[in-house]
Every structure is written in C-alpha cells, then in structure tokens.
Structure 1
Amino acid sequence: MISYPDALALLLDTAAPLGRETVAIDAAARRFLAGDVISPLALPSFDNAAMDGYALRAASDIVPAGSSFAVAAMQAAGDTAHALPGAEACEIATGARMPEGFDTVVPVERSERQGERVRFLADERRGQNVRHAGADIAVGARAFAAGRRIDAAAIMLLAALGIEEVDVVRRPRVAVITTGSELNAPGPLPPAGIHDSNGPFLAASLAHWGVEWLGRTRVPDTGDAFVLAMRRALEEGADLVVTTGAVSAGRFDFVPAALASLGARELFHKVAIRPGKPLLAARFADGPLVLALPGNPIAVAVGYRFFVGPVLRAMAGLPPESPTCVRLAASMPAKEGTRHFGLGTLACDGDGQQVAHLAEGQAAYRILPYTQATTWLSNVAASGATADAWPLDPADAA
C-alpha cells in the first residue's frame, strides 16, 4: 500500500500540462492563461477628470476660497480636444480628458456658477480629482501571469485593454464511468436499488473546474459493460477517465482486471488514506490517465478533491496547492501512517485565531455532513493538535 504523498507524486509525474489554444475573451471565462499577458496600453490612457466639476490650471498649491475663473468651454467624456489655449477653466464631466496644461478638478457641488464665470466656495488643492495616465497599469506592464484563472475581474481588465483574444491551456477531456447494478436514475427505485449520486456529483464538480466534458456512463457490475465504456472514452480522446466503484477486492470488483485487459499500466492500487483506501490509478500508453475511486459517496468526494483536483491543476500547468495549518477544537480520529480526511467548519476563537471544528456524524456513506461543511481537514498524527485545511472544491483554490 502506498502513502498519499507518494501516490500524489506518481500522479503528478504522469499528468503533463496540456497544449495551448487561442480563444476570444468572451469564451475565456474559467480558462487558464497559457502565457503572460502584457498590457498593450496604459490605463487610463490619458489624464481625466475623476468627477463632474471644473478643470483649471492651478497657479499655486492651494486655490483659495472665493477664487473666480472664466469658463471657456465644456469638456465631455469622449471629446477629443487636447488643449484650450489661454483658457482659465472649463466645465468637465467625469472621465473626460483633461485639456493640456490643466491639472486640477473642483467638484461641481463646491462651486457656484455665475454666468460665464465660476467661483469656488472652499480652498482646493492643486492636482486633486484627476486620474493620471497609467495610474492603473502602465503600457508594457504584466497584466497577468501565466496560470491565472480568467475570472470576471480578469475579463474586465482584458476588455479595458482592448485585448480580443488570449492564449489559454487546452481544457482536459474528461469522461466519468460509474459502476454498480444497484445504481438508478432519479425516479421510483426497484427493491435494493439506490440513486446514482456519484455521477452527478462528479459532473457538477468537473463542470465547475471547466473541463471538456465527454459525458458519464453508468454500467452494471459486469466487466464487459465497463470495457465498452472505457473503449468509448479512449476513442473520444479522453485525457482523464474517472470511475467509481468495483475497485476493491470483492467478487464484483472487476475494474483492476478490466483496465489491465485493455492495456493500462497500473500506477498504484490502495492508498494509506481514510476514506478511499481502495483507490487505483492507471495509465494508458499515449492515452488517458485513469483514476478509479471507491463507490462510497464521501470516498468519491475525497478522491475528487485530493487526487482528481491535483491532476487537473497539473494539466493546467499550475503548481501544487498548499493547505493552511489550523488549530483543531478537538483531535481528529487518526491511525499513525494513514492520512485521514475529514469535513469541518472554520471559526475564530476569542483571540481572532482560526479554529477548525470537525463535522459530527461523519462516515463514508453519509452525505449530509458534506453539505454542511466549509472545509476539508487532513492529518496523519493520532494526537495532533493541528490539521491541514483545504477549500471544499479544488476549483476554488485555482
């Protein structure tokens, strides 16, 4: 039986970053940048007014209350006039370009218009209320580093910079196969039947990551049906196949033999973890990586979070994730040499320090505690006062 760190190292060694492709920014959400993005222009691109008011050339550091200036023109947002020769002041709108030589904006609410002149009601500072060119980002500066996941904020900046397309890492092509003659779709259940929850869970989790979805297949406890599903995934060019169930050592645990019959090379089978010990990993030559998870729902959740998640990170070219060390309110059940994964919540104690509380009633078959948790916790020491804390979903750490 292999340790969790050794199993993870084997997986990451075989999960090479995928290639790159160019996409429009409208299609780039949740994708990972394949290279640095360099700003093609400065933001703002010109000095502009931060608010509606009056722009002027300040003659000193302070424009005294009661000062009066002739208003030469109105400068609106989008106006292209660069200069107002000989002008003392002009009315200006928020975002409008500052005329050449103008350096100060006085808010309209602190002014009094008197025909073609404006009088200021309070002392004003030279240089106030002006957004200077390049104050947000300079031309030639790095806007984003390779590996950045493109979120709505990134889309906003890319659009502001006039960037229409970006190079992103190709999305991994992923197929899911759930095994079990007892599994059923939603609806009335036959005697001894259960609803398939692992398939929908993996589909939702992988969609949140942003994979190219090849679909999921539910097969009964027969090796032949599983082999057909695997062959279909191979034909569709899967990069990763995730399976659930039939991976332990019982009569109906056919997955190891079926993968071997198809030519997959086993990387490991059984990991010193709880829950999820029977987990298996295999690799097809010039083909997909296969992660075969046990069938219990929380063992599937652990397998996705701590095996599939790191593989997806590696395929995106991201570095390994680092957990946060937190203090435990009560010790986790643990067996020396075994990595235990548990569900919990994080709260602050009276000193403002983060403390982890284990969810009650945890078991590999119990789903409700998972829905109430806010963090994964892991430890290897039976008497440890601390544990590693991880976001529930690996996509939230990317």
Structure 2
Amino acid sequence: MIAYAQALQLLLDQAPGAVAEGVAVAQADERILAAAVVSGQDLPPFNNAAMDGFALRSDGLVVAAGSVLQVGGWQAAGDEASDGDGADAWEIMTGARMPAGLDSVVPVEQVEVLDAVDGRPRRIRLQAAVKPGQHVRLRGQDVALDETVLAAGAMLDINAMTLLHALGVAEVQVQQRPQVAVISTGKELISDATQALQSGQIRDSNRPFLVSRLAAAGAEVVWDGRVSDDVAAFDAALDAALAAGARVVLSTGAVSQGRYDFIPDALRARGAEILFHKVAIRPGKPLLFARLANGSLYFGLPGNPISAAVGLRFFVEPVLRRMLGLKDETSLQLPLQADVRKPPGLRFHARARVELEADGRLSVRVLSGQESFRLKTMLRANAWAVLDGDSALAEAGSLARVQGWGHLQPLQLDGQEKA
C-alpha cells in the first residue's frame, strides 16, 4: 500500500501528453483551447450608431439644445460608407456605420423634425444638448486587432463561442478529448432498469455515473459495457475497448482480495505492468493502476459506488487534466464546521457541503452517511473535503482541503458559483 502523493506522482508520470486538433467553432462547446485565440479584426469593425437618431458633427464641443441642423442623408445598418463631411446631420439607424466626418448621435426622441420630403427628415431642431461622441460605438472598443481574447487552457462556452463567431473565427485549436472506456464487472449487476431484480442482484449504477462524470471531465467515452466475473468475458471487453481507441480504461469491481477478484491476475496474463495496487485512502483503498501492453492506462476501481467516485475524482481526473494540457488543479482550504472522525493514517475523502456563514466566510460541513455504499448523501454534497494525517479526529475549525465535484466544474454554492 502506497501513500496518495506517491500514487498521484506515478499517475502523472505515466499520463500521455496533450494532443491538439482543429475543430469548427460551432462544434467546440466545452472544449479546452490548445492555443490562444488572437483577434484578426477590430470589434466593432467600424464606428456605428448605438441607437436610432441623427448623426452629427460635434468637433469635440457640446452641440446646444435648440440648434437647427440640415439633414444630408440617411444610413441604415448594412449600408456602405457615406461621406457626411458636407452635412450638419445624417439620419441613422442602430448599428449603421457612422458617415465620415460625423462623430455623435442624438436619439430620435430628442429631435423635432421641422422639414421632411417623402417622409425623410431634411431639417431638425435639437431638443437636448448633444455631448461629443455620445451614443457611438467606436471601432475596436470591444476587441482590438491583434488582441489575445482567449488564452490557451480556457474552456470554451457559449459566451466565448459567440465572441469567436463575431470575430469571424471559424476554427480553433483544442486539446483532443482523452478517449476512455468503462467496464463494469460482476455477475450480480443488472443494467436494464425495467428488469425486476432477482435474489442477490443489484443495479449497475457505477457505469452510468462514470460515463456521465467522464464526459463532464473532458473525456470522450468510446466504449462501455458490463461483464460477469469471468476472465474470458473480461478479456473480450477489454479488447473491444482498446479496439475502439481507448487510451484510458476504467473498470469497477474485482480488485480486492476475494475469490472473484480476478482483475489483477487477468491483467498480468495480458502483459500489463501493475504500478500500484492499494492506496492509503478511504474509501477506495483497493484501487489498482496499471499500464497495458499497448501503452494504454488502466484504472481498476473498487465496486462500491463512492469508492469508484473517489477513484475517478482523485486518480483518473488528474490524469485527464494532464492529457488536456491543463495545469495541476488547485483547492480551497476551509475550516470544518464540526469535529470529524476519520480513519487514522489514511487520507479520507468525504462528501461535504461548502456553506456561506452569516459573516460572509466560507466553511465546510462533512455530511453524515459517509459509508461507501451510500448514494443519497451525494444529493446534498457540493464538494469533497479531504482530510489527511495520522489523527483519528479532525477538530472543528481546523482546515480541510476542499475540491469541487469535478475538476472542470466550479463549486456551486446556494445557486452561485465560487471559484
């Protein structure tokens, strides 16, 4: 049995490097940028009106209320550039390019039309003073040419993608999603939710949990399936997973020391190198990590649901993070709300709730029901609290390491996101 820090270092030493690929912006949602995005244009690309009204020339001075101005023409959004040098004013619509020589806009509501021809204003009177530059969106005011708008390592979301569309960026370089497979083992497992359970049977909840959480962690699940406690069936499933392109394989169950815990021997028979088996943690101590003969990484997670969740969050996700080209994850240090009993000498991963105190400070509450078979506790948890050390008691007020439910997901606190 090895310490968590030693196990994590072994994992990161074996993790493949990130690989970049180009994808269309429309397909880049929740992808990690492999290279910074530099704007190839100004945004806005030209000076334009922020509202319907009249463009006029201020020359840096306030244009007084009551001024009577001649209107030289009109400009709608999408019209070609106009020359307003010879005019006092120019009728203009929201988003329309400012005519050359004009620098301010007066809203239509602040203008009295004195003269019109065929419905087009020809002479107007200002009903309010106009400040220089008012209601004009300047070229490059939002984004300047050659400005870095997104750094490498940023995760694209709808806001980032909207900006990229506005800048005319059609394709971005992103990190390839790590290709992962999931194998559930156990003759007791039933995958069909409509099938009635027979004596000794349970639902296969680990596999859908892992598949969903892996997607949220930035991976692509290329294969998943369930096998009984049978080496031949396991070998066939692993062959199928590798044929589908899996660079990382996760299995649940069959890694302890019982009669049916066959995975360690099955891996050795395939030429795999087992790098560690059992870590000084709880839950999830029997966790196994190996390198397969083809170089793919293999995680044998225990079968209890929370043990599998801990294995994913604290062993698999750091590897995925490295494969996505991201820096090592940071964590919060928050005070415990109450005393917590922990297994002495083991790193304890507890489902917890980060809460906002009345004085505005954050603290963490370790939830009751920490046994590794209990799923309902996950409904109330919004974080993991990690407790290290030889002591059997972590006292109220002492600091716990706190990490979010997933490495790419910000901590959710009472409907608000906390970094």
Classify the secondary structure of the residue corresponding to 1:8: helix
Classify the secondary structure of the residue corresponding to 2:211: helix
TM-score w.r.t. the length of structure 1 is 0.95
Give 5+ residue unaligned stretches, structure 1: none
- For residue 60 of structure 1, report the CA deviation from its aligned partner: 4.3
Query: In structure 2, how many angstroms separate the alpha carbons of the residues matched to 1:321 and 1:112?
Result: 61
- For residue 351 of structure 1, report the CA deviation from its aligned partner: 1.2
User: Where in structure 2 are the equivalents of 1:167-206 lying within 5 Å?
Assistant: 167-185=173-191, 186=193, 187-206=195-214
Query: In structure 2, how many angstroms separate the alpha carbons of the residues matched to 1:91 and 1:337?
Result: 77
- For residue 329 of structure 1, report the CA deviation from its aligned partner: 0.9
- For residue 6 of structure 1, report the CA deviation from its aligned partner: 1.7
Give 5+ residue unaligned stretches, structure 2: 116-121, 411-418
AA of the residue aligned to 2:233: A
Higher mean alpha-carbon deviation, 59-68 vs 149-158, is at 59-68
> Which residue of 1 is the match for residue 159 of structure 2?
153
Query: In structure 2, how many angstroms separate the alpha carbons of the residues matched to 1:172 and 1:60?
Result: 57
Classify the secondary structure of the residue corresponding to 1:72: strand
- For residue 362 of structure 1, report the CA deviation from its aligned partner: 2.2
AA of the residue aligned to 1:100: A
Query: In structure 2, how many angstroms separate the alpha carbons of the residues matched to 1:337 and 1:125?
Result: 71
Classify the secondary structure of the residue corresponding to 2:235: helix
User: Where in structure 2 are the equivalents of 1:75-154 lying within 5 Å?
Assistant: 75-115=75-115, 116-154=122-160
Classify the secondary structure of the residue corresponding to 1:281: strand
AA of the residue aligned to 1:61: L
Q: Deviations over 1:107-158 (max 9, x none)?
A: 2223322222222222332111111111111111112222222211121111
Query: In structure 2, how many angstroms separate the alpha carbons of the residues matched to 1:230 and 1:18?
Result: 24
Query: In structure 2, how many angstroms separate the alpha carbons of the residues matched to 1:195 and 1:231?
Result: 25
Classify the secondary structure of the residue corresponding to 2:300: strand
Query: In structure 2, how many angstroms separate the alpha carbons of the residues matched to 1:246 and 1:390?
Result: 28
AA of the residue aligned to 2:167: L
Q: Percent identity over the alignment?
A: 46
Q: Tell whether the 8 Å contact from 2:224 to 2:241 is kept in structure 1 after alignment.
A: no
Q: Tell whether the 8 Å contact from 1:42 to 1:134 is kept in structure 2 after alignment.
A: yes
Q: Are residues 1:320 and 2:318 paired?
A: no
> Which residue of 2 is the match for residue 368 of structure 1?
376
Residue 176 and residue 325 in structure 1: after superposition, are their counterparts in 2 closer, same or farther (change >3 A)? Answer: same
Q: Deviations over 1:153-190 (max 9, x none)?
A: 12111111111112222222111001111100222111
Q: Are residues 1:72 and 2:85 paired?
A: no
> Which residue of 2 is the match for residue 356 of structure 1?
364
AA of the residue aligned to 1:99: P
Query: In structure 2, how many angstroms separate the alpha carbons of the residues matched to 1:120 and 1:31?
Result: 51
AA of the residue aligned to 1:144: L
Q: Are residues 1:226 and 2:239 paired?
A: no
- For residue 336 of structure 1, report the CA deviation from its aligned partner: 4.4
Q: Are residues 1:208 and 2:216 paired?
A: yes
Q: Tell whether the 8 Å contact from 2:23 to 2:171 is kept in structure 1 after alignment.
A: yes
Tell me how many residue pairs correspond in the alignment. Answer: 398
TM-score w.r.t. the length of structure 2 is 0.90
Classify the secondary structure of the residue corresponding to 1:118: strand
Q: Are residues 1:21 and 2:21 paired?
A: yes
> Which residue of 2 is the match for residue 278 of structure 1?
286
